[in-house]
Amino acid sequence: MKIALIKGDGIGPEVINQALKVLDAVSKKFRCSFEYQEVLMGGRAIDETGVPLPAETLYICKKSDAVILGAVGGPKWDNLSGSQRPEAGLLGIRKALDVFANLRPAMLFPQLKSASSLKEEILADGLDIMVVRELTGGAYFGEKKRVKTENGIKAWDTMEYSSYEIERVTRIAFSIAKKRKNKVTIVDKANVLESSRLWREVTGNVSKGYPEVEVSYMYVDNAAMQLVRNPGQFDVILTENLFGDILSDEASMLTGSMGMLPSASIGAHKTGIFEPIHGSAPDLAGKDIANPLAAILSCGMMLKYGFNMEKESNAVFEAVNSVLDNGFRTVDIMQPGMIKVGTETMGSLVAESV
């Protein structure tokens, strides 16, 4: 399998290097091979090439079977214009690879229940939610404009969707639900937004092809409340780009640390993007304290959703679970009586456990 590596900025290179240790262990155990090619994107790309997403990076990513991506950005580049910021590279690569479905699991490892921001009685049944977020449409990609008016500057971002865009991500969400608990909650704002009303029409039509899947609808403001009130009611949450960005971050904090959560962005073509959801955290860079487990679990998602390597993916998850069972913790998930380890040691422990 050919994998493009975008290690990124801040702690990105550190956590991705640990994930590669684990992939090397998977390669040895299951006799499979991965070929890596490192390319530039984000702040480092700006420094070295003047743009956040060089053409060469796109070319290599399109030829690869998957992209492993570290975090990009940081205060160093905050004063650049929107199209020149590191984050513009993220939007650009998602669009170019046509990865229209972002999979964001919010899963609470039982060993870390006390680290959650929720009371343990609310988490009694555990937490295992998959947020499926449409990734290449909506307000992030619609028309953006500013004009001067007699009342000052007026600005707008257009939230727009086609039935085609909605249908294709809905089919992915329902397919995932069939492998889980056959339950999908579709989150929108159909009492106000015309685009949300279209979402209801299209998802309703698609759902007829999945009679075994239970479907419900929820307004986004209520969904935000229910996530902290009773998260156990959710299995698969399907929603548009802006709402998904917000809700998936909220769901991630229920698990205790963003350093534990992976993500996958997949689409119509073979090349998906697999990345930890945490930021570049430049204040942590080079200190051997960043949690690499989200990056490691992102590679586990790559094995499952990118390469259909189920047993190899399970081996990564089981290795992380075993290391946590043995009491090893990075500083962000440290608990009394546990063993604090750094980035490098955590990566080595998971690789050894594989």
Q: Which residues pair with 69 in a beta bridge?
A: 6
Structure tokens at 353: 């456990």
The residue annotated as part of the active site, out of 98, 157, 249, 288, is: 249
The residue annotated as part of the active site, out of 7, 21, 188, 189, is: 189
- Assess whether 189 carries a catalytic annotation: yes
- Assess whether 24 carries a catalytic annotation: no
- Assess whether 78 carries a catalytic annotation: no
Rg (CA), the chain: 20
3 state SS of 90: helix
Which residues, including other chains, have CB under 8 Å from residue 61's CB and lie 6 or more apart?
4, 6, 39, 67, 93, 96, 97, 271
**Contact present, 101 and 173 (Cβ < 8 Å):** yes
Q: How far apart are CA 196 and CA 182, in angstroms?
A: 23
Comparing CA positions, the residue from 191, 98, 81 lying closest to residue 144 is 81
Residue type, 246: I
Q: How far apart are CA 296 and CA 298, in angstroms?
A: 5
CA distances from 241 to 100, 134, 136, 351 (A): 9, 5, 7, 34
Query: CA dihedral in degrees (245, 255, 97, 173; nearest 10)?
Result: -80
What angle do helix axes 343-353 and 310-325 make, rounded to 10 degrees?
120
3 state SS of 183: strand
- Assess whether 65 carries a catalytic annotation: no
**Contact present, 159 and 196 (Cβ < 8 Å):** no
The residue annotated as part of the active site, out of 9, 188, 235, 245, is: 245
The residue annotated as part of the active site, out of 24, 47, 125, 221, is: 221
What angle do helix axes 310-325 and 12-30 make, rounded to 10 degrees?
120
The residue annotated as part of the active site, out of 140, 161, 210, 305, is: 140
> How many residues are present in the chain?
354
What positions carry a catalytic annotation? 140, 189, 221, 245, 249
